[in-house]
Structure 1
Amino acid sequence: MEALSLLASLATTLFASTLHSLILLLRLLLRFPRRPSLPGGAAAAVRLYEGRVHHSRRLPASHAFEYSVRYAPVDLDCLPLPGHLSAADARRIASTSGAVHLLTIPKRVGYEQNPLSIYYFYDSAEQGEDGHLKTCIAEVRTLYWFHRVMFTFQPGSDLVAKPLHVSPFMDMLGNWSIRADAPGDSLYVVISVQHPTLGNYFTAALHAKLVEKTSSSLRLATFFWLMPHKVAAGIYWEAIKLWLKNVKFLDHPRYQNNVSYRTEAQKRDLEIRSSCSFLQKQNMNDRRSTSADEIAEISNQHDHNGEESVEKRWCVWRDAQWPWS
């Protein structure tokens, strides 16, 4: 059933993308001297970044690749994006009141594919791209099962228990070491997997440079045309090469009767936060509001000595619709 649904999804995406591409071509041919602007005009100007993503795997088989990619950090107050957190909801989760930017590949020609999107939260005293980056939320999506997870992390350096079965060629035992900086003239994000038996065996990095700033919806459409499709095609192509190298295919935990993988990830993450002193210090400035429904999972837990409480990381899973749910 899942295979049939996937084929139907591919056919629908192909048809919709072809139709939207023809409409985009028509807009380019018939455009007027004054280019259509995004809602909000100059205030909604979007910074466009172009760079490269590099993946490197050392075990159980050596495999590396690199491809060009385009991203944009969108100011969610000026340009809300359907399917993502609103600026207000994001601020409530992160307990901030400043600017909220979402680094993502926008949906184009009827298709969206974002393995990783990042929400950047700035202090209220210094808003915008030149302000102080306070915290981040990572939104990770899977291409194979269409599930996703969102969790908070500290941008300078953080360690997170792996909460989602992203790749069918990796198990759930690793932790993610995450580093990110605030997007400026360039941006940098790196995630490495720390595994209990394989060690630091996988690294994914994004390096990109600012190429321009635009408030033109047409320019935004052409800049990201087929970018989501390229990302999806690349993921499937590299998966085929891993399979040909005899790397074991691991099905999703829920299909292996492991229904508690999320709880296990939360327990491992709590152990990480309890053992890392710098994370304990950050907890003092990282209190979450419990008014929103999505934050109901937050609770205070005690360490082994019962002397200090350590707050759980905000983490929310969202399942795909049937038949993957």
Structure 2
Amino acid sequence: MEALCLLASLAATLVTSAFQSVLLFLRLLLQRRHDSGCGSAAGATLLYEGRVRHSRRRPAAHAFEYPVRYALVDLDRLPLPDHLSADDARRIASTSGPVHLLTIPKSVGYEQNPLSIYYCYNSAEQAQDGELRMCIAEVTNTPWGERVMFTFQPESDLVAKPLHVSPFMDMLGNWSIRADAPGDSLYVVISVQHPTLGNYFTAALHAKLVGHTSNPLRLAAFFWLMPHKVAAWIYWEALRLWLKNVKFLDHPRYLIQNYRNEALKRDLELRSSCRFLQKQKANNQRSSSTNETCEILNHIDNKSDESVTKRWCVWRDAQWPWS
């Protein structure tokens, strides 16, 4: 049944994207005034080009990278459908300044966005200086289209895995995540810490600023078929993993009815146990992996135990044809 859903989704995407691509090219041909791309600082969207790299060390070694384009959008000036508004992000992050969203915009009717990040600042000066207050991750899995959003400290944070992002990974790992403030370049890295496989997987994004624009047509042309390419790379690398006999795992919803609640419990236990271990630094019996975990959580706000143990995290159900 899932294979049929996937084929139906791919067929619908191909037809829609082909039609909308023709319309886009016609609009570009008819456009009389062209955006230079270097534009002025008035552009509401910054354009980044870079590479995504995945590296898996166990149970089978597997690494790949591919080129990618991202947009960094000032949400106060250019709200995006199907994403948080600037006001919602400020409320969630408890900030009062600008909110910038790093994302791959939808192209010719199709969206494929494994990771988007909201960068939340307390003031315009902080945004200019790259002083981040809080980040919100927006993770979408392929091909189901489920989404989870959660807050994290940008310097580094540790999050109990909340979403089935790959049929070749179970739900037992923790995500170690770091996101530098975007400027002339940006860097995001997520590694997986697993109770039996250790630190066995890393995904990283490196990108450089290449321009900015407020022209919708230039934006559409810059990201033409970018989501489609990302999807193609995801499916191709999944096939390569399958050929390496890496075990294919069912979605946890078929195994655990309330797997989302289980993820929240694990996150609470993770943060609580690390807070306790930080208070017991004199204990020399801790493992190196535990030390690494607690070093990550040392960056978390230490104002109170309550601020450490609570995390904002919400899910969106799968979209058609997986719903």
TM-score category, normalised to shorter length: 0.7 to 0.9
Deviation of 1:36 after TM superposition, in Å, equals 11
Aligned length in residues: 300
Alignment RMSD (CA, Å): 2.2
Aligned pair partner of 2:261 in 263, 283, 294: 263
Evaluate the alpha carbon distance shift between residue 322 and residue 67 of structure 1 in structure 2; reply closer, same or farther with a 3 A threshold: closer
Deviation of 1:34 after TM superposition, in Å, equals 5.3
- The equivalent residue for 1:89 is 88
CA distance, structure 1, for counterparts of residue 230 and residue 299 of structure 2: 37
TM (norm. structure 1) is 0.86
Code of the residue aligned with 1:79 in structure 2: it is L
Is it true that 1:158 corresponds to 2:177 in the alignment? Answer: no
- The equivalent residue for 1:294 is none
Q: Do the aligned partners of 1:118 and 1:137 also contact (CA within 8 Å) in 2?
A: yes
Q: Do the aligned partners of 2:192 and 2:202 also contact (CA within 8 Å) in 1?
A: yes
CA distance, structure 2, for counterparts of residue 264 and residue 271 of structure 1: 10
Q: Do the aligned partners of 1:44 and 1:78 also contact (CA within 8 Å) in 2?
A: no
Task: Give 5+ residue unaligned stretches, structure 1.
Answer: 286-301, 303-307
TM (norm. structure 2) is 0.87
- The equivalent residue for 1:210 is 209
Evaluate the alpha carbon distance shift between residue 243 and residue 280 of structure 1 in structure 2; reply closer, same or farther with a 3 A threshold: closer
- The equivalent residue for 2:10 is 10
- The equivalent residue for 1:29 is 29
Code of the residue aligned with 2:80 in structure 1: it is L
Deviation of 1:320 after TM superposition, in Å, equals 1.1
Code of the residue aligned with 2:29 in structure 1: it is L
Q: Deviations over 1:175-216 (max 9, x none)?
A: 000011010000000000000000000000000000111122
CA distance, structure 2, for counterparts of residue 48 and residue 181 of structure 1: 17
- The equivalent residue for 1:75 is 74
CA distance, structure 2, for counterparts of residue 197 and residue 234 of structure 1: 28
- The equivalent residue for 2:292 is none
Deviation of 1:35 after TM superposition, in Å, equals 4.9
Q: Which moved more, 1:24-33 or 1:241-250?
A: 24-33
Q: SS of the counterpart of 2:66?
A: strand
Show the 5 A alignment for 1:54-69.
54-69=53-68
Q: Do the aligned partners of 1:48 and 1:211 also contact (CA within 8 Å) in 2?
A: yes
Q: Do the aligned partners of 1:60 and 1:247 also contact (CA within 8 Å) in 2?
A: yes
- The equivalent residue for 1:197 is 196
Q: Deviations over 1:51-95 (max 9, x none)?
A: 000000011111000100000111111111111111111111111
CA distance, structure 2, for counterparts of residue 113 and residue 212 of structure 1: 22
Of all paired residues, the percent bearing the same amino acid is 76
Show the 5 A alignment for 1:199-238.
199-238=198-237
- The equivalent residue for 1:171 is 170
CA distance, structure 2, for counterparts of residue 107 and residue 148 of structure 1: 16
Show the 5 A alignment for 1:216-295.
216-256=215-255, 258-274=256-272, 275-276=274-275, 278=297, 282=301, 284=303
